[in-house]
């Protein structure tokens, strides 16, 4: 990256506006990227469109070779990739290794293997009497140019990750990463080029919200991951252009702990998945409902575990457990939620403060005696906090878990699997795990998406996770083709009556 002034935005000698990228754990500027204009985005889109037919023509096998090379490239360049992610997000080395590098490597192999299966032509059987004997086929064709707009919390997994199935389907892709974490995407573009991806099939449009809006104006479909507020704007802009939009938005995932749960397992999951990635995961545990008989013991164990977390500047494997927050304004959000809860009578059992002076920090925090209308129980905190609430029974737990504008993920803990599954089926979330959390995200065969509009529209992963990047084309092939079909002009009374009798036989139905 160029070495220029360290203000958030600066002009280079050639007049191009540059955005400074900061290490949020240290406050140090680690690079600059162009703040691309709508004109620059349009130029990338033109090149992407020109390159797409060649990429599509390579077929699943040809594309799969490059995707599998990229899988190896990620592992061969693991330290560089993890180093870049840690530097621009402030997260722990292991958070980047487990949830980003591993996801990326698995996803390249998965989509290389599955694209041909999920997008294979489907032979369709019909009940229509008019087309009996004809061949009906459903096929999937790439849409053309896909725009992917991503957030800052997982620059590889949640931003770049959605480009992989789009590419596997035969599309060109224009990725707009968060202005806060663009360096990982630029590094991965370098990897794709080194693995033989044809020029211009993949491009990174760096910039802010205006650059993202310009991407929507150019592409054939938009895949957006980010906040509910921005998702709404993206949906409106896509609707104006009549292009499809898939929106993966915010979450406020509840954990329900029933009285017969393995308390130690539940406490470990609550402490880990609330604080993992400094709480900046769309499906992190954001609130806990615990049945009264085990509440005290659960709270004691969670507090001990959270208290033992080592937070600090990431410095390689094993150096820390939890890093900094990534996005500076997030510190104010977390502080506001904790302060409001405290002012209204909640108790902070551990943490509760901003932490270090340089960088963007908030301590891992456990809150109890919370009310359900507090911001920490209703709004997405997206930080290292865990509010825990005592509930009288499972009915109250389910009611409170569902009392949210969000419905992304949820978790239920109980030794009685049948009961836990029955509870899981009543929670209104896109995914519900039993005696587990978050790990479903690694099962790329399983769809992942919001169950309520606040958490998004559409899914990633599974067959739908690649078919959304395609248009469906229906084919009807008449193998037998006489000069004229029986239903055509001229209409004859005898034939019409015959058809009437046939309709009676077909559709009068069985009693
Ligand atoms: P934002 O909505 O603020 O930003 C997301 C992306 O949209 C960024 O690249 C941003 O650019 C860009 N953007 C901003 N304004 C516009 C616009 N008008 N048109 C087009 N693009 C625009 O989200 P965050 O980056 O703050 O990410 C955190 C959020 O993401 C949380 O709510 C989290 O729950 C959600 N998320 C959801 C996931 C899911 O799978 N459901 C997964 C991961 C995160 P810039 O950053 O440059 O402003």
For ligand 1, pick from 99, 147, 185, 226 the residue to mutate: most ligand atoms within 8 Å of CB.
226
Whether 9 has a pLDDT exceeding 80, the answer reads: no
Residues 152-177 have pLDDT tens digits of 999 999 999 999 999 999 999 999 99
pTM: 0.95
Compute the average pLDDT of residues 376-405.
98
Contact predicate 144/114, CB 8 Å: no
Compute the distance between CA of residue 143 and CA of residue 172 in angstroms, rounded to an integer. Answer: 9
> What average pLDDT is seen over the chain?
96
Q: Give catalytic status of residue 163 as yes or no.
A: no
For the beta carbon of residue 343, count every other beta carbon within 10 angstroms. 9
Which atom of ligand 1 is closest in space to residue 176's alpha carbon? 9
Instruction: For the chain, give the percent of residues with pLDDT over 70.
Output: 97
Rounded to whole angstroms, how far apart are CA atoms 114 and 64? 10
Contact 174/145 with Cβ under 8 angstroms? Answer: yes
State the Cα–Cα distance between residues 199 and 194, nearest whole angstrom.
Answer: 11
**Residue 358: pLDDT over 60:** yes
Residue nearest to atom 34 of ligand 1 (CA): 250
**Is the pLDDT assigned to residue 205 strictly greater than 90?**
yes
Residue 356's pLDDT band (boundaries 50, 70, 90)?
Answer: confident
Per-residue pLDDT averaged across 103-123, rounded?
A: 98
| Sign of the alpha-carbon torsion through 22, 23, 24, 28 | negative
Mean pLDDT of 423-443: 98
379 in contact with ligand 1, CB cutoff 6 A:
no
Residue nearest to atom 21 of ligand 1 (CA): 212
CA–centroid distance, residue 216 to ligand 1 (Å)? 14
Q: What pLDDT band is residue 1 in, cutting at 50, 70 and 90?
A: very low
pLDDT of residue 13: 65
Which of 163, 278, 282, 376 is flagged as catalytic? 282
Instruction: Check 88, 218, 248, 291 and give the catalytic one.
Output: 248
Say if ligand 1 is within 6 A of residue 220 CB.
no
Q: How far apart are CA 257 and CA 241, in angstroms?
A: 45
Nearest atom of ligand 1 to the alpha carbon of 207: 47
**CA–CA dist 268, 504 (Å, integer):** 64
DSSP string, 385-407: EEEEEEESSHHHHHHHHH-SS--
- Max intra-chain CA distance, the chain: 91
Nearest 5°: the CA angle 141, 144, 148 is 115
Indicate which atom in ligand 1 lies nearest the CA of residue 179.
47
**Position 510 confidence tier, pLDDT thresholds 50, 70, 90:** low
Helix (H) or strand (E) holding 315: none
Nearest of 323, 147, 135 to residue 241 by alpha carbon: 147
Is 282 an annotated catalytic residue? yes
Task: Find out whether the beta carbon of 330 lies less than 6 Å from any atom of ligand 1.
Answer: no
Q: What is the pLDDT of residues 321-343, one digit of tens each?
A: 999 999 999 999 999 999 999 99
Going by DSSP bridges, is the β-strand pair 245-248/253-257 parallel, antiparallel, or unpaired? unpaired
At 10-51, the pLDDT tens digits run: 776 677 799 999 999 999 999 999 999 999 999 999 999 999
Strand order in the sheet with 135-142: 122-124, 135-142, 470-477
Distance 157 CA to ligand 1 centre (A): 14
For position 16, what pLDDT does the model report?
Answer: 77
Q: What is residue 431's predicted lDDT score, i.e. its pLDDT?
A: 98
- Give, as one character, the DSSP assignment of residue 197: P
Name the band, by pLDDT with cuts 50, 70 and 90, for residue 478: very high
Cα Rg of the chain (Å, integer): 26
Residues 225-266 have pLDDT tens digits of: 999 999 999 999 999 999 999 999 999 999 999 999 999 999
Q: What is the DSSP string of 346-374?
A: -EEEE--S---SSS-----EEEES--TTS
**Which numbered atom of ligand 1 lies nearest the CA of 450?**
41
Q: How confident is residue 129, by pLDDT bands cut at 50, 70 and 90?
A: confident
20, 88, 209, 378, best to mutate for ligand 1 pocket (most atoms within 8 Å of CB): 209
Asked whether 364 lines ligand 1 (CB < 6 A), one says: no
Is the pLDDT at 201 greater than 70? The verdict is yes
pLDDT of residue 226: 97
Using an 8 Å Cβ cutoff, are 249 and 450 in contact?
Answer: yes
**Mean pLDDT computed over 95-117:** 98
pLDDT tens readout for residues 274-321: 999 999 999 999 999 999 999 999 999 999 999 999 999 999 999 999
DSSP for 239-261 reads HHHT--EEEE----EEEEE-TTS
């Amino acid at each position: 990256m160029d070495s220029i002034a360290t203000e958030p935005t600066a002009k280079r000698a050639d007049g191009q506006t540059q955005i400074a990228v900061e290490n949020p754990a240290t406050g140090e500027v680690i690079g600059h990227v162009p703040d691309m204009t709508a004109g620059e985005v349009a130029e990338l889109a033109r090149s992407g469109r020109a390159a797409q037919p060649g990429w599509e023509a390579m077929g699943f096998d040809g594309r799969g070779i490059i995707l599998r090379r990229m899988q190896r490239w990620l592992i061969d360049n693991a330290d560089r990739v993890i180093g870049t992610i840690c530097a621009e997000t402030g997260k722990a080395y292991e958070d980047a290794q487990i949830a980003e590098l591993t996801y990326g490597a698995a996803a390249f192999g998965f989509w290389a293997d599955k694209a041909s299966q999920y997008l294979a032509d489907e032979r369709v059987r019909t009940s229509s009497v008019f087309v009996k004997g004809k061949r009906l086929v459903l096929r999937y064709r790439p849409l053309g140019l896909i725009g992917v707009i991503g957030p800052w919390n997982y620059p590889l997994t949640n931003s770049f990750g959605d480009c992989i199935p789009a590419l596997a389907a035969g599309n060109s892709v224009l990725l707009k990463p968060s202005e806060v974490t663009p360096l990982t995407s630029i590094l991965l573009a370098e990897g794709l080029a080194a693995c033989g991806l044809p020029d211009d099939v993949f491009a990174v449009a760096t910039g802010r919200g205006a650059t993202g809006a310009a991407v929507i104006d150019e592409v054939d479909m938009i895949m957006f991951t980010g906040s509910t507020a921005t998702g709404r704007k993206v949906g409106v802009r896509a609707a104006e252009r009549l292009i499809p939009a898939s929106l993966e938005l915010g979450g406020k995932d509840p954990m329900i702990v029933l009285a017969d749960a393995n308390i130690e397992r539940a406490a470990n999951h609550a402490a880990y998945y609330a604080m993992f990635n400094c709480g900046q995961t769309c499906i992190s545990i954001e609130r806990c409902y615990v049945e009264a008989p085990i509440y005290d013991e659960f709270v004691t164990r969670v507090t001990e575990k959270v208290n033992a977390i080592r937070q600090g500047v990431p410095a390689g494997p094993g150096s820390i457990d939890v890093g900094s927050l990534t996005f500076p304004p997030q510190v104010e959000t977390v502080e506001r939620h904790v302060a409001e809860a405290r002012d209204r009578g909640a108790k902070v059992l551990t943490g509760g403060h901003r932490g270090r002076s340089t960088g963007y920090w908030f301590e891992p925090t456990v809150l109890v005696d919370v009310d359900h209308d507090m911001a920490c129980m209703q709004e997405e905190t997206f930080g290292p906090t865990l509010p825990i609430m005592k509930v009288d029974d499972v009915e109250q737990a389910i009611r409170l878990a569902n009392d949210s504008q969000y419905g992304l993920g949820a978790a239920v803990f109980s030794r009685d699997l049948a009961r836990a599954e029955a509870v899981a089926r009543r929670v209104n979330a896109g995914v519900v795990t039993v005696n587990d959390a978050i790990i479903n995200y690694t099962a790329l065969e399983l769809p992942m998406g919001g169950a309520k509009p606040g958490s998004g529209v559409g899914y990633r992963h599974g067959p739908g996770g690649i078919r959304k990047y395609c248009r469906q084309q229906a084919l009807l092939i008449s193998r037998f083709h006489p000069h004229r079909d029986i239903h055509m002009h001229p209409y004859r009374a005898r034939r019409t009556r015959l058809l009437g009798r046939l309709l009676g036989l077909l559709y009068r139905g069985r009693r």
